[in-house]
Amino acid sequence: MKLDKLIRSLLLGALGVLALEGVSLAQVASGFVVNKFEPAERGSDWFTLDSLDLRGHTRPAIGTTLQYNYAPLVARDADGNTIARIVEHQAIAHVGASMTFGDRVRLGFDLPFQIYAQGKQGLEAGKTYNGPANMSSVGDFRFGFDFRLFGKYGDAFTTSIGTQIALPTGTRENYNGDGSPRFEPHLAFAGDLGPLAYAARIGYMSRALSTGDTWSGGTIGSEVNAAVALGIRAMDRKLLIGPEFFASTVIDDKASFFGKATTPAEVLLGAHFFMENGLRLGAGAGPGITSAMGSPDVRVLLSIEWAAPYKEEVPEVVVVDKDGDGIVDLEDACPTVAGVHTTDPKTNGCPVVKPKDKDGDGIIDDVDACPEVPGVPNDDPKKNGCPSDKDNDGIVDTADACPDVPGVASEDPKKNGCPPDKDNDGIADTDDACPDVPGIRSANPKFNGCPADKDGDGVLNDVDACPDEPGKADPDPAKNGCPMAFVQAGQIKILDQVKFKTASADILPGKDSEEVLQAVLAVMKAHPEIKKVRIEGHTDDKGSAAINKPLSANRAASVVKWLVAHGIEASRLSSQGFGPDRPLVPNKDEDSRRQNRRVEFHIDEMGTAPPPGTAATTPAPATPAIKTTTTTTTTTAPKPATTTSAAKPATTTTTTTTTTTAPKPATSAKPAASAAPAPKPSASTPTK
């Protein structure tokens, strides 16, 4: 009994194994073309789209595109989980070439070499699919034809029709062939809109597979496909960057049309670099968007191509030169008579006619501004052929006393053509700082041509800190020749400071403060156009601000009080104290603090100055009397008149006496508008 059962079990097991093996062998499915990436014909700017560069009569292009696909064919269960990667790794090298004809037609081919393929057996919808039979193999040979309808490469819109035919050089067991030809007509579009480039394609691919070829419940059959690309051109059109999208779906039955397993779609992001010698490099990568057959998890692309650079053909021009003078008839004004080349279209190619030159100066009369008088060439048509006038002052060089310097006409032959010199001091008015008064030459442009002492204060210009304002001599170079007070830059500047009692607003009596205040008083009286003056008080940083600020305000008020007491209307004055808030310089030492302890006179409002000759004047300090003893014969030159005294005639005296020269009378001050740059005001003030 036990032996019978054992034998029965072995027989049943063997029959079961045989039955299963029979079922398995009956359901092994054939492969098909898995790769959905078809490279564009060589010479395109994209990977799979076509830029429609069909220029050239016999213009070649060759290249190779390398692609790697990961998991382009995966068996999945009903929930979409991976059962087996039938084709897990696939590397293909596409070798191709193309040729354009007549700027309109292109022929091309592509031969894919599957250099590596690997996968595992798996069951999909009841069918067993083996992995690729061979690691390397040859795919289907593709032949392409395209015809440009209208537009041309680089235009905003170009379109073409074409077709591709795949011959069955690949094999189904290696998943790189269908075992039958494939036919794919298509319509393509492309264009450039400034730096933006685009391309699109729609097509139909006929596949002659049997009705039993299915995948995951869908038919493997004829397809419609579409693709679109959009990119940016940069680096003077040497670089193109942008994505390409392509997809297809089976149309043999309703279940397959846009079916999940029969509608592969993917996107690539690529970059293409174009060299001037025709070499092109490309790189791109992208994922599959759907899980359909042929849509990989990821696809990586590299390309290298060469396309012959396109050169515009220039039509041959037939040159006609009947008179044989080297000037073509189209440009020859005298095509039947040999002549010479000229820039004038009316005379170009005509014989030379000797021009007239009546004065024999070598300048023909037609361009000679002085045809009756010999002259010299000149770029100015109005002077060309006229006697030489190097300085262009209208006085010919033969009569010009200063032929190299523009001047004016003069009856004096020694001055004719020389620059004007109104004061006859030998210094041209253009260089003369005092053109109406004879002076002396100076290296300083401010004094050149001026008297040695412009303001007549007894201090020569070269050492006068205020050469336009009469003042006293001073051992301090910054004060030498300057008045005690003067108007400048919106202030009444003072050379010394008003002095106050320590920690008090009382003005110190005595000569120093009195002279300063008298000088300010004189300026305000001499300039009634000064309507408002703000007296500011300032201190250094010693002591507290609570004490310094009121102290500075009280000191400013004391100055206002003094000026009002001496005849200045109170309505013209105001005061303000700032304490240590506005130092002139950082309070680093006693000298800097002495500069910061000060009173300033700021002009807040100016009116209109009186007409010249009527303005009040500010007398400059008189020159003190000088006592001398002489025993000589003295001739005193006539003294010129001033605004306060009449001119005195010259006198001659022979005597041996002790004489005292009278003080020099004060001279009138100039209006504020003509004030000279100020010397540095003194910062001497008493301590708080």
pLDDT in tens, 549-579: 999 999 999 999 999 999 999 999 999 999 9
- Taking only the tens place, the pLDDT of each residue in 466-508 is 887 787 888 888 778 788 888 988 999 998 889 898 889 899 8
User: Could you give the CA distance from residue 482 to residue 495 in angstroms, rounded to a whole number?
Assistant: 8
Residue 638 pLDDT class (50, 70, 90 cuts): very low
Taking the CA atoms of residue 359, residue 362, residue 367 and residue 372 in that order, the dihedral angle to the nearest 10 degrees is: -10
What pLDDT is attached to residue 670?
Answer: 37
Rounded CA separation 345/75 (Å): 83
Element (H, E) at 83: strand 82-101
What is the C-alpha separation between 296 and 88, in angstroms, rounded? 9
- Asked if residue 17 is part of any domain, the answer here is no
Mean per-residue pLDDT, 579-591: 92
The answer to whether the CB of 304 falls within 8 A of the CB of 281 is yes
Q: Which of 269-283, 458-472, 632-646 has the lowest mean pLDDT?
A: 632-646
Average pLDDT over residues 634-663: 37
Residue 271 in any domain: the answer is yes
Pairing status of strand 196-207 against strand 182-193: antiparallel
Q: Return the pLDDT at 653.
A: 37
CA distance 204 to 210: 18
Cβ-in-10-Å burial (0-12, 13-18, 19+) of 484 comes to: buried
Residue in the block written with tokens 């409002």: 605
Per-residue pLDDT band for 611 (boundaries 50, 70, 90) equals low
CA dihedral 586, 591, 597, 602 (to 10 degrees): -70
Check residue 478 and give its pLDDT: 75
Exposure of 267 by Cβ count < 10 A (0-12 exposed, 13-18 middle, 19+ buried)?
middle
State the Cα–Cα distance between residues 141 and 398, nearest whole angstrom. Answer: 96
Tokens of 156: 């905003």
Residue 150: name the closest of 139, 158, 142 by CA.
158
- The helix/strand/coil state of 158 is strand
On average, the pLDDT of the chain sits at 83
CATH number of the domain encompassing residue 535: 3.30.1330.60
Measure the CA–CA gap between 108 and 186, rounded to whole angstroms.
Answer: 15
Q: Is residue 299 part of a domain?
A: yes
User: Cα dihedral angle (495, 498, 501, 507), rounded to 10 degrees?
Assistant: 160
Six-digit token pair at 630?
């002489």
pLDDT score for 92: 97
Q: Which two tokens stand for residue 405?
A: 């310097």
658, β-bridge pairs: 629
Which of 140-144, 245-249, 521-525, 652-656 has the lowest average pLDDT? 652-656
Strands (E), 235-264: 239-250
Identify whether the C-beta of residue 429 lies closer than 8 Å to the C-beta of residue 417.
Answer: no
Residue 427 is assigned to a structural domain of this protein: no
Amino acid at 484: M
How many Å apart are CA 306 and CA 270, to the nearest integer? 18
User: Is a pLDDT exceeding 90 seen at residue 58?
Assistant: yes
233-258: pLDDT as tens digits = 999 999 999 999 999 999 988 889 99
478 lies in some domain: yes
pTM value is 0.47
- Phi, psi dihedral angles at 548 (to 5 degrees): -65, -40
Return the H-helix or E-strand segment holding 300: strand 298-307
* CB-based contact 76:216 (threshold 8 Å): yes
- Among residues 307, 324, 357, which one ends one of the domains? 307
Strand, helix or coil for residue 578: strand
In whole angstroms, how far apart are CA 175 and each of 34, 131, 248, 310, 513? 6, 9, 18, 39, 113
Which residues neighbour 500 within 8 Å (Cβ) at sequence distance 6 or greater?
506, 507, 508, 555, 558, 685, 686
pLDDT higher at 503 or 193: 193
pLDDT recorded at residue 255: 87
> Tell me, what CATH number does 272's domain have?
2.40.160.40
Please count the structural domains in the chain: 2
Between 538 and 451, where is the model more confident? 538
Say if CB 647 and CB 639 are below 8 A apart: yes
Contact 140, 176 (CB under 8 A): yes
**Which residues of 495-529 form beta strands (DSSP E)?**
none
Distance of alpha carbon 293 from alpha carbon 59, whole angstroms: 37
Q: Kindly calculate the radius of gyration of the chain based on its CA atoms and give it in whole angstroms.
A: 54
How distant, in Å, are the alpha carbons of 4, 6, 26, 404 from that of 15?
Answer: 17, 14, 16, 129
Q: What pLDDT does 650 receive?
A: 39
Q: In which domain, by residue range, is 211 found?
A: 25-307
Q: Which of 617, 639, 656 delimits the end of a domain?
A: 617
Q: In one letter, which amino acid is 122?
A: G
**Of all helices (H) and strands (E), which one includes residue 75?**
strand 59-76
Residue 227 covered by a domain: yes
Q: On the CB side of 12, how many CA atoms lie within 13 Å of its CA? A: 6
Q: How far apart are CA 122 and CA 88, in angstroms?
A: 12
* End-to-end Cα distance, the chain: 138
| Residue finishing a domain among 617, 636, 652 | 617
315, part of any domain: no
Average pLDDT over every residue of 580-603: 92
Question: What's the pLDDT score for residue 543?
Answer: 87
Task: Provide the percentage of residues in the chain whose pLDDT is more than 90.
Answer: 50
Across the range 297-311, mean pLDDT stands at 96
Instruction: Please state, as a whole number, how many other Cβ atoms lie within 10 Å of the Cβ of residue 158.
Output: 23
